[in-house]
Structures are given as C-alpha cells and as structure tokens.
Amino acid sequence: MAAARLRTPTLAFAALSICLNLAIIGCAGRTLSVFNTQQSSNVWLLPLWPNHFDTRELHALAGTATAIVVLNAVLILSLFVHALPANLLILASSLLSTVCSLTAVIFPTLLNQHAPGRDTLQTWTCRWNRTTLDRGRGPSGFRTLCHETRFATYTTIPVLLLQLLLLGMAAHTLLTIGGRGARNHPPQRLASDTEKSTSQHELGRVRGQSFDTTGKSESSPRSQQEALMEGAGKGVQFA
C-alpha cells in the first residue's frame, strides 16, 4: 500500500470486520437451521403458519456477511502480494463491502417493521420470549434464538462503520498518490522543455546549413557571369 502508515490500521479493521461477519453468519445460519428443522415438528404451533414467517432477513444477513468476508479477504491478500494493484483492489473491495453493509443494515430493519402483520424470526421469537406462560417463560429455545437474531442484526452497524473507515482510508491513499503525482509533474515538464530547446538548437543548425547552401547557390550564378565576361573578353582579343 502506498501510504505505509495506513497499512496496519487497514489490516486490523479488515480482520475485525471478517470476525464480526463470521459471527453474523454463524448466528443467522443457526437460527435458520433451527427453524427449518422445527417448523414441521414442534410443540409451539409453528406448523400452523409455515408461510407466515419472513426469513429474508436472515438470508440477507448471511449473504451480505459472506460477501463482505470474501471482499475483505481480497483486501488483506492485496496487502501482502506485491504483484497485485493494492490501492485499486482496496478501494474496490471497500466500496463493494460498504454497499453490502448498508444493505444489511437497511433491509432487515424494513422487514422487522412489518411485524406483527408479517413476522420475521426475530420479531416472532422475541415476542414469545417476552410472553409469560403458565409454566414460566415462553417456549424453550426462543430466548436464545431471539438473542442470536438480534445479535446478527445489530452487529451490522459496527461492520458498516468499519467498512466506511476502510473506504475512507483507501480514498485518502489514492488522493495522496494523486497529490504526489501532481507535485512530481514539473520536473517532467522541465525535461520536456530541455528536449524542446535541444530540438530547436538542432533545427537552427539545419537552418544554418540551408543558409549556407543557399549562399552557395546564390554565388554560382555570379561565377557563371564572371566566366561569360572573361569569355567575352577573350573573344574581343581574338577579334
């Protein structure tokens, strides 16, 4: 990376983002696994509404988290493989990861606002978790599922902040490179001016040669006239 002082923070933020997204994948995947296993055989009335739950929330969380992990892995790889265009890869991966993180924050929030008309697994399990039955708390396991779905949803906020930091550092690096390139441009212009002066000098030499040639060409008619006059003089003597 061009800015060496940003190498360590970039690596740390990318690694932390990968860890958080792996946790999101684990929580969302476990909740979906429990739902898919128990929706047809359980004692909590879930089979009565097999199409009632909106599972797009957890699918979106798992999908965006997977994409962010892959993009951050590419970012880290570009820091160690010198043959790769590090600055370009960091900017592209940070930009795409930021878009994925923003989607992971907005989309589940919109889905959760549709409850209770259309519950997500988070709103359903958390509602039963807060309900007190005759035997005590709500259905067994709903408390854990509620916490896992909430963790997967709310963890997208720090992930978004990390991706914004990575994007900001990548943009700062490219702007720094652009500024250095602009400052290094005058020497290149000086070199071109030197080349221009050299070419002009050579052109002057060529023109000097052309002037000499012209001078020679101008002197040749005079020599011819002198030869004719001498010939005429001789003719007069012979006469």
Residues 6+ apart with CB under 8 A from 168: none
Range of the domain at 223: 189-239
| pLDDT confidence band for 104 (50 / 70 / 90) | very high
Between vectors from CA 23 to CA 35 and to CA 62, what angle results, nearest 5°?
A: 55
Does 109 lie in the same domain as 57? yes
38 versus 151: the higher-pLDDT residue is 151
Does 174 lie in the same domain as 219? no
Domains contained in the chain, number:
2
Does 55 lie in the same domain as 16? yes
| pLDDT confidence band for 39 (50 / 70 / 90) | confident
Does 230 lie in the same domain as 142? no
Which amino acid belongs to residue 227?
Answer: A
Q: Specify the pTM.
A: 0.68
pLDDT score of 217? 45
| The pair of three-digit structure tokens given for residue 91, joined into one six-digit string | 């900017």
Does 211 lie in the same domain as 145? no
Does 216 lie in the same domain as 132? no
pLDDT score of 6? 78
Does 235 lie in the same domain as 128? no
pLDDT score of 199? 52
| pLDDT confidence band for 191 (50 / 70 / 90) | very low
Residue 208 pLDDT exceeds 90: no
Does 155 lie in the same domain as 43? yes
| The pair of three-digit structure tokens given for residue 29, joined into one six-digit string | 């995947």
Does 90 lie in the same domain as 157? yes
Given the structure tokens 């490179």, which residue do they identify? 177
pLDDT digits (tens, 9 = 90+) for 105-156: 999 999 888 777 788 888 888 887 766 554 545 566 788 888 999 999 999 9
Percent of the chain with pLDDT over 70: 62
Mean pLDDT, rounded, for 195-224: 49
pLDDT digits (tens, 9 = 90+) for 156-180: 999 999 999 999 999 988 888 765 5
Q: Which of 168, 161, 162, 160 is nearest to 3 (CA)?
A: 168
Does 198 lie in the same domain as 106? no
Q: Which of 60, 159, 64, 158 is nearest to 107 (CA)?
A: 60
Residue 209 pLDDT exceeds 90: no
pLDDT score of 154? 95
pLDDT score of 153? 94
pLDDT digits (tens, 9 = 90+) for 44-69: 555 545 556 788 899 999 999 999 99
Does 57 lie in the same domain as 145? yes
| pLDDT confidence band for 2 (50 / 70 / 90) | very low
Average pLDDT of the chain, as a whole number: 75
| pLDDT confidence band for 215 (50 / 70 / 90) | very low
- Angstrom distance (rounded) from CA 156 to CA 108: 10
Does 143 lie in the same domain as 78? yes
Which amino acid belongs to residue 169?
Answer: M
Which of 161, 183, 205 is a domain's end point? 183
